[in-house]
Structure 1
Amino acid sequence: MGPPKTLRTISQEAFDEVVRENVEDLGMDPTEALQDAIETLTLQGVDLSGIVRCVPGEGSARDNPLIQSLERLKQLDGDSKDKISDQFVDEIVVLFDRISDLCGSTQESGNASIALRNGGLELLCSLCYKIPSDCEPAVVSSLKTMVLLLQDLHSTEIFRNSNGPRIVMDILNSGKQNVNILYGGFAVVAAAATANEVVKEVFMEMNIDELILQTLSTYRGDCINSLYDAIRVLLTADDHRVVASQVYGYARRFAKIGIANALVDSLHEGLNSSGLVSACIALRAVSVNDEICKSIAENGGIDAVLRCIDDSGDQGNKMVAKVCCSLLSKLAGSDANKSAIIEKKGLNKLIKLSSRFSDDPSVLQEVMAVVSVLTLRSPENATQAIEAGAGDLAIQAMQKFPSAQQMQRNSCNMIRNLVVRNPENRALLLKTGIEKYIRKAKQNHESCKDAASDALRDLGLDNYL
């Protein structure tokens, strides 16, 4: 496959001229002229994102409220050398909020692209630098607007080249006592670092990990979801331009200074915390090696997760159930933690959870994933899993949800681990008629073929390929 096709660009003036020629030279009515220009240029491979599309006679690009707001902000920015005058702060808030409303209403409007194309992000960075730090409404509004414009690699590179990371870090450091500023600032960090390895690196060079730890320690009982999002993004290798990401090293650095343990403290809030889901996802991102996983367990992480799993089943909260199972699966990668989870009746809690969500294959597949990790290369754990009801879970779920591909695949993987070192478990599972459902999964789902073949082979069956 060759490199992606590069789209051609066009200026606003050139686009408007094409529409005008359709009216004056080809005799089209204004609406038809606009639609024809859009269709023709699109077919020619022209990128029309960020172009204001006006019907001739009904205004021009300059009449667009978004363009007008940006133009006024440019005036204010140009008139301010180092600091926005107090007399213009209220107006700036109104303009920021208007741009936020226009860009955040619907993605289909294309307003975010229009703002980006007309220098909106560079302008925001410049104004953020000049807004007095004690003007909370203006700072919060600017950060909210900035997030809406950080949509892709192009925009995050504009942010980086406009000194955005330093500006946002300065805002965060000077606004440590303000939850609203922290929320907005970390939301910008998460948006700017998404799929951009260089931006992640810049934030790490400015010691954002130390700021994150300080914030977690200060606001232990308060939920700042964007902080958890920032942790997740900074530790996710999502920039496809990069062969070897540095995020593994960042995760180790996060754990070394105490962020993993601070996140464990967040979990102790349980389902009373609105940030529980985000905190679980963030902690999973930090849990990159055996040492960190064991440290999390030693600080009560497994106890907290198992308690949340119990509570999620009691309260019917499937989102919490899924993320807690996903986190437990990561922590169970440590052999020491496997034993701890088993000793704390983790298998029984998982099977109980599966019975509470027996009608939701998305939860069942997460339960199966944890059981698979717990029983990997552990015949003792496989025996206990069968006794807890893992075999019944497999047959009932595969029978009930034949079209749930990931669940079927996870079930095959779990079955394999239950029987590969436990001949006695093979007979028990074969008596349930599990073979038929494994073969159906193999036949019906391409993604299940390898896992199903492995399960059939380790069940001691012929014709498993």
Structure 2
Amino acid sequence: MACKWITQETFDAVVQENIAEFDMEPEEALNDAIQQFESQGVDLTNIIKAVGKHSEEGEAAPSHDILRTLESLRKAVETSSVSSVSELLVKFGDQCKQGMAHRYLAGQKFAYPVVLEAWKLCERDRETLLNALYAMSSLTDGQPDLLEGVGQELLTHAFQNYSKDAEVILLAIRLTRHVCLKHEQNRQAFVKAGILRYLTQAISNHGTDPDVVREACSALRIMTFDDDIRVPFGHAHDHAKMIVMENAGLKLLIEAAKGFTDNSVVLSELCSTIGRLCVRNEFCQDVVDLGGLNFMLALLADCIDHQELVKQVLSAIKATAGNDDVKDAIVNSGGTDLIILAMTRHFSNAQICDQACAALAMLALRKPENCKVIMEGGGALAALQAMKIHPKNCIVKKQACMVIRNLVSRTCDFSQPILEMGAESLILQARCTHKDCEDVAKAALRDLGCRVELRELWTGQKGSLVQ
């Protein structure tokens, strides 16, 4: 059933009606209004669920704190009171951070042009500029459509004029993230404006600042996303190529990682970003040539207990293994044993099991010699055990089926040992339980030599497509 929507004014009016007409206490009136609307199928995600405050200025006055702050900011901007503007920007940013409903209401009440005017007013005043970036970043979190040409231009100026200022750059990157996430048009506009250069320069200029490096990595990854459902296709692949080929992104990230060996959070971001950039065969090889593979394998061995870092390293290894020569380099460096160790150490973590199985499946693909190493290291047994431990997780089961399929597709000698581990029943269970596992499960069963019905949907015979 389609969701219904209401305005904040409608919700507030019902709450006030409960208080005035039915003599309810404010909290009771609020809960009753929430219950009424939810029972009618109304989505209250973007509604501030609080009792609006009365004002001496009358019914026309804003009833929520964030709107009162916005009105004060509007007046301060009109009078060019920089000190008041600066203080109100911080207050407004804090209120936006209270939740999406607060940001949405502010956006609906034309907060963006007000904050934009405040930003223009204080562009050359560093302290107020910081507060403007903070307010704009808070407002646009989850609302990238608010950005327009002037805002993009101001943000570009901030990168250009304050490239050596870590605080300004940090907030500028955060704003970039918010306006580019799930918004392909903004991404492409910023890339044309040189944002990839600014982001990589931020890492180069502030490579010892963990906050800047972490934010810049996240922003670079967002530039490689294809997450805007409103466009048929994006430029994710092109952006990744530009980061590597025009801005030496892989070299920059691998060098930066060497400065954070004791910071698992930053290392996770760096490894995740390296993985996102391995979109071409030669980029995967570049990671090896630049020492990135050895570095990541050493991380996997030394930081085996840091689950988030382990997950990101496994993801990056899987990405680099898209190159057949890199597959061999990983296996020859003992990578398979480390991947299996990471999975068995964190069997309860579905995401690690998923990434480990995906990495093993990639290493086994078209590589009988690698399959032998994986089998001897217990990779097949570990993948099947992951299926047992996560019976309801479709992604884990799908990747585990892929491991089994790739292990036996060119090495039929492994079929019997894997079947003796109980593979057939686990794969059948995955096939029956999860529709998304259907194809890979059938492929695994077929290559294991099990009986499986392969139905031809259409053979091109017995009739014409034209009536």
- Cα distance in 2 between the residues matched to 1:346 and 1:51: 51
- Is the CA contact 2:11–2:33 (under 8 Å) kept in the aligned structure 1? no
Corresponding position of 1:426:
415
Question: Any stretches of 5+ residues in structure 1 without a counterpart?
Answer: none
The structure 2 residue matched to 1:156, chosen from 144, 147, 161, is 144
The letter for the 1-side match of 2:338 is: K
Corresponding position of 2:75:
75
**Which whole-Å deviations, capped at 9, do the CAs of 1:30-80 have from their partners, x for residues lacking one?**
758886699579959899957897568677543533222212211222223
The letter for the 2-side match of 1:308 is: L
Corresponding position of 1:195:
182
- Is structure 2 residue 388 aligned with structure 1 residue 399? yes
RMSD (Å) for aligned C-alpha atoms: 3.1
Corresponding position of 2:98:
105
Deviation at 1:290, TM superposition (A): 1.3
**Which whole-Å deviations, capped at 9, do the CAs of 1:190-233 have from their partners, x for residues lacking one?**
00011111111111111111112222212223222221111111
**Which whole-Å deviations, capped at 9, do the CAs of 1:148-188 have from their partners, x for residues lacking one?**
22144xx4232125x11111121122222221211111000
SS in 2 for 1:177: coil
**Which whole-Å deviations, capped at 9, do the CAs of 1:324-359 have from their partners, x for residues lacking one?**
111111110011211211221111221222232233
- Cα distance in 2 between the residues matched to 1:195 and 1:33: 37
Corresponding position of 1:307:
298
SS in 2 for 1:272: coil
Measured at CA, do residues 198 and 57 of structure 1 come closer, stay the same or move farther in structure 2, by a change above 3 Å?
closer
Quick check: 384-393 or 29-38, which moved more? 29-38
Written as runs of structure 1 = structure 2, the 5 A alignment for 1:138-217 is 138-152=128-142, 155-161=143-149, 163-217=150-204
The letter for the 2-side match of 1:159 is: L
- Cα distance in 1 between the residues matched to 2:421 and 2:241: 45
Deviation at 1:249, TM superposition (A): 1.1
Measured at CA, do residues 456 and 171 of structure 1 come closer, stay the same or move farther in structure 2, by a change above 3 Å?
same
- Is the CA contact 1:456–1:464 (under 8 Å) kept in the aligned structure 2? no
- Cα distance in 1 between the residues matched to 2:11 and 2:353: 53
SS in 2 for 1:235: coil
- Is structure 2 residue 363 aligned with structure 1 residue 370? no
Deviation at 1:15, TM superposition (A): 7.7
- Cα distance in 1 between the residues matched to 2:406 and 2:34: 60
Written as runs of structure 1 = structure 2, the 5 A alignment for 1:126-141 is 126-136=117-127, 138-141=128-131
Measured at CA, do residues 462 and 186 of structure 1 come closer, stay the same or move farther in structure 2, by a change above 3 Å?
same
- Is the CA contact 1:354–1:363 (under 8 Å) kept in the aligned structure 2? yes
Number of residues paired by the alignment? 444
Which aligned runs of 4 or more in structure 1 are off by greater than 4 angstroms? 4-7, 9-12, 14-24, 30-61
Corresponding position of 1:235:
224
Quick check: 296-305 or 45-54, which moved more? 45-54
The structure 2 residue matched to 1:318, chosen from 275, 285, 307, is 307
Corresponding position of 2:86:
93
Measured at CA, do residues 22 and 366 of structure 1 come closer, stay the same or move farther in structure 2, by a change above 3 Å?
closer
Quick check: 262-271 or 14-23, which moved more? 14-23
TM-score by length of 2: 0.85
The letter for the 1-side match of 2:87 is: V
The letter for the 2-side match of 1:76 is: A
- Cα distance in 1 between the residues matched to 2:42 and 2:347: 50
- Cα distance in 1 between the residues matched to 2:241 and 2:124: 33
- Is the CA contact 2:12–2:52 (under 8 Å) kept in the aligned structure 1? no
Corresponding position of 1:266:
256
SS in 1 for 2:443: helix
Quick check: 403-412 or 413-422, which moved more? 403-412
SS in 1 for 2:371: helix
Corresponding position of 1:439:
428
- Is structure 2 residue 280 aligned with structure 1 residue 292? no
- Cα distance in 1 between the residues matched to 2:400 and 2:188: 39
- Cα distance in 2 between the residues matched to 1:350 and 1:19: 56
The structure 2 residue matched to 1:222, chosen from 209, 213, 222, is 209
- Cα distance in 2 between the residues matched to 1:308 and 1:270: 11
TM-score by length of 1: 0.85
Quick check: 272-281 or 198-207, which moved more? 272-281
- Cα distance in 2 between the residues matched to 1:421 and 1:52: 60
Percentage of matched positions with identical amino acids? 22
**Which whole-Å deviations, capped at 9, do the CAs of 1:14-40 have from their partners, x for residues lacking one?**
88778888888xx44475888669957
The letter for the 2-side match of 1:250 is: H
Corresponding position of 2:268:
277
Corresponding position of 1:359:
348
SS in 1 for 2:452: coil
- Cα distance in 2 between the residues matched to 1:412 and 1:267: 34
Deviation at 1:376, TM superposition (A): 0.6
Deviation at 1:285, TM superposition (A): 2.2
- Is the CA contact 2:183–2:227 (under 8 Å) kept in the aligned structure 1? yes
The structure 2 residue matched to 1:115, chosen from 106, 128, 139, is 106
Corresponding position of 1:244:
233
Measured at CA, do residues 283 and 194 of structure 1 come closer, stay the same or move farther in structure 2, by a change above 3 Å?
same
- Is the CA contact 2:48–2:102 (under 8 Å) kept in the aligned structure 1? no
- Is the CA contact 2:350–2:393 (under 8 Å) kept in the aligned structure 1? yes
- Is the CA contact 1:50–1:112 (under 8 Å) kept in the aligned structure 2? no
